[in-house]
């Protein structure tokens, strides 16, 4: 087969040598526009796992690369004069030029033709090639030429960065954060050979402009960075090797590239994207070169496996790599956004700031960190525990973050796990009875810090369905008090009441008879901010609330709040999410009013805030109140995370203690981006920008995730829904999985605790033995690291 690789970066060179090694009869040419052994850039980074992949693909090349690597285990974070280190991360640095030299030499040894100083305009220069590899980099001409096929999505990110070098040798991968009068700058530094380190300086675009770097000559901006990070450089200079760039041009914004397809057939041969031409991943997770080399490995593998069927090989390559690359790009996006918003986190205590940085991509979890550096994690757990008033005795195990207490006003939760309010639709005339006693009572005994009753309606016409619970009379109050008394009498959990009004989503059937479908009979009139039909052509129309309606509904909420206090609830939550009545005022998708309650966000919040303040006035001062919001409508023109921060600030000013951060369900046109912990970023942003406690919800499924969220300061509480439907004792089970025994069980169930812990330990040992993997390898595999 005749193969031409356009672009002599890591992707093209590595693919060429792998294919030549696979079959020496292949006629392979790599065409590069630069001079032989010439390149720009400083060092690149690989993880130990990537090195393993290279070793498996070509041991000789891997051996030469390994011989040139500088290896380190530690990551060091410097902020506000404090230095935090953690180990076990297993990274290697190598000069980009040295890496290319090794790959070029190996290609020459195997018989690959290397052509330099040839600037290829298009693949038509090689009409007799059987396969064209477009490895022509970030600004790929081939990708641009066939963009109708590849459908590239290029997102230029918010920060400016400059890639510099220094002869200061950093022992660890070092992050340094420095504040100026204009804003924050950060440096990413690591040694990559015997006498040189990479030193990347990064800052948001607006800070870069305020600092005047856009008007500086190159030497001036380098001198600025030297002064700013002088205490880390120990007198060493910063160096640029981008002699071809002038002024501020060396400061660039990172372009994230995603292509829908990677293969184009031009009528003569397939043209295949590889490396940066197909995708990019932000330098903060050090994966660009890794992805390029692994592209090459996978395509070579697919061609070898396909037995001469090139189309099948290319289809397999795209199918496999597109998924793997997406995983890395999702992690890179999380990491990119963290660094773009460093100002959001700099007021965290330094230990928590460092932990947040280490776990920013969501690929490194709490338990994964423990396997890397147990001493660091246990020390950090002790720091969190001390901040919560817990001093661990020498013989005791460290307290996992999820099992630290949390206090708001006069209510203290024993841990950070909350049983989400989950609609059950099993009431008659709004009356809670035996079912709710068992449902909520069992989960309270299952170890959670708090259980939350499902959305409870403030009047008969506030219900979603006829099966929804209510709190508008004393009989219902008595039913709830029975449940509250059980929770308080048989557990140390707290119990919260969530009050809401269905608004335009009311008068529907219970889900198992037709979710969101109107009742066949017995419907009641619907209210909302503006007339709407939740499901076009299906739902009943609601009418816009008058001022008289607002007064009545507000008073219904106040009455329900008083009844909840009388029933003995520890916590009260107001439901302002998911397209229900108060949500219909907040979202511009559903609020089309032209009076004082419509238009800008300030006006749209006016009525929900009025209801909240009226409830807060009658709810006991020593007990907390929270608000559930939809932090993202997932629809163009709807509520955005930017809006959510402002919504949280408004409720905080009105006396709210915590924001319960959900999203969506406002419009059937929504297009959520699902994934594990997919709503946690809303809680993170609101907590750290609006300065109010938050509860994270949505696809949080295990203790490791809860510990990671709490430890990083991304939320104060985690609400767990579906796992609690499957297992009322989810919290107790997760404690046993962690090996944390210092958790209180109901005395009647203690004999089950010891057996559960023994069985779990036996299962762990058997699984590890069968897999033949070290604990760290197992954890990395589970996290996709």
Q: Between the CA of residue 171 and those of 175, 447, 659, what are the distances in Å? A: 12, 44, 42
pLDDT of residue 554: 98
Q: Considering the candidates 580, 597, 678, 740, report the single residue annotated as catalytic.
A: 580
Most confident of 84-93, 363-372, 440-449: 440-449
With CA atoms as reference, report the closest residue to 342 among 226, 208, 202, 222.
Answer: 202
Over 80: is that where the pLDDT of 40 sits? no
**Per-residue model confidence as pLDDT tens digits over 686-742:** 999 999 999 999 999 999 999 999 999 999 999 999 999 999 999 999 999 999 999
Interval 268-285 mean pLDDT: 94
> Mean pLDDT in the chain?
94
Query: Taking the alpha carbons of 282, 283, 289, 290 in that order, is the dihedral positive or negative?
Result: negative
Buried b (16+ CB within 10 A) or exposed e, 733-772: bbbbbbebeebebbeeeeeebeebbeeeeeeeeeeeeeee
pLDDT at 663: 97
Angle, helices 48-57/288-305, rounded to nearest 10 degrees? 30
Joined tokens for residue 250: 């060396």
Q: What is the pLDDT of residues 106-120, one digit of tens each?
A: 999 999 999 999 999
Task: Return the exposure string of 401-417: e unless at least 16 CB atoms fall within 10 Å of the residue's CB, then b.
Answer: bbbbebebeebebbbbb
Per-residue pLDDT band at 68 (split at 50, 70, 90): confident
Residue 652 token pair: 């905080």
118 Rama sector, left if φ>0, alpha if ψ -120 to 50, beta otherwise:
beta
User: Strand, helix or coil at 165?
Assistant: strand
The per-residue pLDDT for 445 is: 97
Give the separation between CA 646 and CA 312, rounded to whole angstroms.
52
Determine the Cα–Cα distance for residues 133 and 275; give it in Å rounded to an integer. Answer: 10
Can you tell me the mean pLDDT for 190-217?
95
Q: With bands split at pLDDT 50, 70 and 90, how would you rate the model's confidence at 49?
A: confident
Whether 380 is catalytic is no
% of residues, the chain, pLDDT over 70 = 97
SS3 assignment, position 44: strand
Q: Is the pTM of this model over 0.85?
A: yes
Instruction: Name the residue among 83, 135, 88, 81 with its Cα closest to residue 107.
Output: 135
User: How far is it, in rounded angstroms, from Cα 160 to Cα 613?
Assistant: 44
Q: Is the dihedral of CA 473, 475, 477, 479 positive or negative?
A: negative
Q: Which of 242-251, 280-289, 532-541 has the lowest mean pLDDT?
A: 242-251
311, with CB counted inside 10 A (0-12, 13-18, 19+), is exposed
C-beta separation of 438 from 486 below 8 A: no
pLDDT tens, 372-400?
999 999 999 999 999 999 999 888 999 99
Q: Name the CA dihedral angle for 589, 591, 593, 596, rounded to a multiple of 10 degrees.
A: -130
**Each residue of 665-679: pLDDT tens digit?**
999 999 998 888 999
Tokens for 439, please give them: 């449902």
Instruction: Report the residue count for the chain.
Output: 785
Q: What is the pLDDT of residues 607-622, one digit of tens each?
A: 999 999 999 999 999 9
For the cut 80, the answer to whether the pLDDT of residue 20 exceeds it is: yes
Contact criterion met (CB below 8 Å) for 627 and 612 = yes
Closest C-alpha among 505, 606, 628 to residue 550: 606
- Contact call for residues 606 and 598 (beta carbons, < 8 A): no
Instruction: Name the token pair of 514.
Output: 């037709």
User: In the predicted model, is pLDDT for residue 527 greater than 80?
Assistant: yes
């Amino acid at each position: 087969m005749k193969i031409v690789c356009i672009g002599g970066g890591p992707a093209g060179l590595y693919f060429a040598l792998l294919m030549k090694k696979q079959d020496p009869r292949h006629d392979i040419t790599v065409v590069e526009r630069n001079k032989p052994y010439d390149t720009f850039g400083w060092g690149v980074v690989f993880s130990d796992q990537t090195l393993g992949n290279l070793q498996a693909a070509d041991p000789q090349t891997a051996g030469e690369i390994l011989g040139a690597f500088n290896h380190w285990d530690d990551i060091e974070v410097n902020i506000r004069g404090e230095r935090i280190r953690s180990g076990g991360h297993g990274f290697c640095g190598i000069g980009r030029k040295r890496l290319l030299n090794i790959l070029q030499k190996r290609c020459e040894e195997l018989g690959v033709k290397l052509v330099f100083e040839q600037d290829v305009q298009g693949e038509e220069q090689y009409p007799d090639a059987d396969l064209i590899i477009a490895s022509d980099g970030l600004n790929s001409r081939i990708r641009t030429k066939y963009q109708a096929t590849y459908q590239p999505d290029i997102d230029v990110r918010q920060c400016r960065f400059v890639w510099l070098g220094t002869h200061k040798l950093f022992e660890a991968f070092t992050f340094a954060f420095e504040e100026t009068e204009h804003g924050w700058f950060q440096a990413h530094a690591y040694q990559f050979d015997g006498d040189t380190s990479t030193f990347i300086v990064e800052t948001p675009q607006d800070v870069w402009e305020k600092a005047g770097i856009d008007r500086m000559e190159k030497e001036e901006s380098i001198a600025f960075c030297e002064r700013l990070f002088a205490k880390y450089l120990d007198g060493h200079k910063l160096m640029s090797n981008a002699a071809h760039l002038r002024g501020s041009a060396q400061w660039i914004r990172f372009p994230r590239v995603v292509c829908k397809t990677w293969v184009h057939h031009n009528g003569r041969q397939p043209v295949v994207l590889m490396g940066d031409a197909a995708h990019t991943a932000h330098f903060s997770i050090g994966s660009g070169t890794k992805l390029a080399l692994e592209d090459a490995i996978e395509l070579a593998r697919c061609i070898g496996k396909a037995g001469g069927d090139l189309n099948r090989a290319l289809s397999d390559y795209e199918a496999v790599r597109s998924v793997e690359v997406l995983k890395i790009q999702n992690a890179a996006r999380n990491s990119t956004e963290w660094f773009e918003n460093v100002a959001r986190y700099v007021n965290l205590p330094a230990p928590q700031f460092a932990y947040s940085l280490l776990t920013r991509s969501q690929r490194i979890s709490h338990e994964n960190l423990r396997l890397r550096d147990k001493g660091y994690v246990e020390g950090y757990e002790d720091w969190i525990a001390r901040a919560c008033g817990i001093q661990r005795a020498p013989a005791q195990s460290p307290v996992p973050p999820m099992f630290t207490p949390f206090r708001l006003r006069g209510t203290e939760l024993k841990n950070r796990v909350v049983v989400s309010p989950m609609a059950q639709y099993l009431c008659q005339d709004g009356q809670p009875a035996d079912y709710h006693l068992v449902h909520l009572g069992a989960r309270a005994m299952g170890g959670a810090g708090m259980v939350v009753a499902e959305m409870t309606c403030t009047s008969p016409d506030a219900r979603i369905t006829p099966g929804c619970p209510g709190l508008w009379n004393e009989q219902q109050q008595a039913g709830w008090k029975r449940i509250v008394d059980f929770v308080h009498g048989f557990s140390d959990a707290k119990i919260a009441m969530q009050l809401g009004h269905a608004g335009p989503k009311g008068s529907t059937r219970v889900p198992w008879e037709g979710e969101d479908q109107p009742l066949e009979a017995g419907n009641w009139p619907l209210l909302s901010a503006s007339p709407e039909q939740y499901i076009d052509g299906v739902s009943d129309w609601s009418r816009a609330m008058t001022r008289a309606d607002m007064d009545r509904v507000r008073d219904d909420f106040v009455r329900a709040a008083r009844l909840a206090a009388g029933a003995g609830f520890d916590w009260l939550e107001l439901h302002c999410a998911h397209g229900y009545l108060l949500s219909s005022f907040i979202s511009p998708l559903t609020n089309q009013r032209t009076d004082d309650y419509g238009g800008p966000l300030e006006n749209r919040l006016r009525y929900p805030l009025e209801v909240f303040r009226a409830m807060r006035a009658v709810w006991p001062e020593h007990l907390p109140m929270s608000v559930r919001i939809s932090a993202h409508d997932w629809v163009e023109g709807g509520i955005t995370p930017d809006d959510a921060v402002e919504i949280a600030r408004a409720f905080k000013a009105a006396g709210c203690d915590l924001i319960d951060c959900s999203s969506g369900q406002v419009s059937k046109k929504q297009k959520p981006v699902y994934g594990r912990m997919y709503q946690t970023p809303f809680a993170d942003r609101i907590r750290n920008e609006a300065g109010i406690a938050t509860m994270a919800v949505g696809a949080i499924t295990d203790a490791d995730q809860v510990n990671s969220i709490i430890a990083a300061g991304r939320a104060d509480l985690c609400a767990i829904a579906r796992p609690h439907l499957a297992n009322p004792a989810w919290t107790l089970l997760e404690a046993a999985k962690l090996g944390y025994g210092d958790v209180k069980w109901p005395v009647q169930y203690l004999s089950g605790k010891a057996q559960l812990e023994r069985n779990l330990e036996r299962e762990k040992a058997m699984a590890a033995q069968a897999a033949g993997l070290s604990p760290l390898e197992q954890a990395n595999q589970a996290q996709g690291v």
